[in-house]
Amino acid sequence: MAYDKSNENSGALFKNDRKESEKHPDYKGSINVNGEDFWLSAWLKTSSKGTRFMSLSVKPKEQPQKAAPPKQDQSGFDDMDSDLPF
């Protein structure tokens, strides 16, 4: 999707209709800050004094790819299979 300057520094949250556990957010959405897009999650909570509030989490939409773990060398294992009695 092309970047639209009119969406800069704005976002939206929607009720999470797929919540399956208390750890899943009550609301999910996205927000744009200074031209960068982020995922936004919110949980409805109550403080110790009884005040209701939203706890928020923000994660970049474009996270760096994690490097795949190196593949283990399988050479030499074929020789072991031929010696097994089963």
Burial of 25 (0-12, 13-18, 19+ CB in 10 A): buried
- Is residue 82 domain-resident? no
Position 17 confidence tier, pLDDT thresholds 50, 70, 90: very high
User: Within a domain: residue 13?
Assistant: yes
Per-residue pLDDT tens over the stretch 24-67: 999 999 999 999 999 999 999 999 999 999 999 999 998 766 66
Question: Is residue 43 a part of any domain in this protein?
Answer: yes
- The set of residues, in sequence order, having a beta carbon less than 8 Å from that of 38 and lying 6+ positions away, is 11, 30, 31, 32, 58, 59, 60, 61
Q: Domains in the chain: how many in total?
A: 1
Tell me the residue range of the domain where 26 lies.
Answer: 1-62
Model pTM score: 0.65
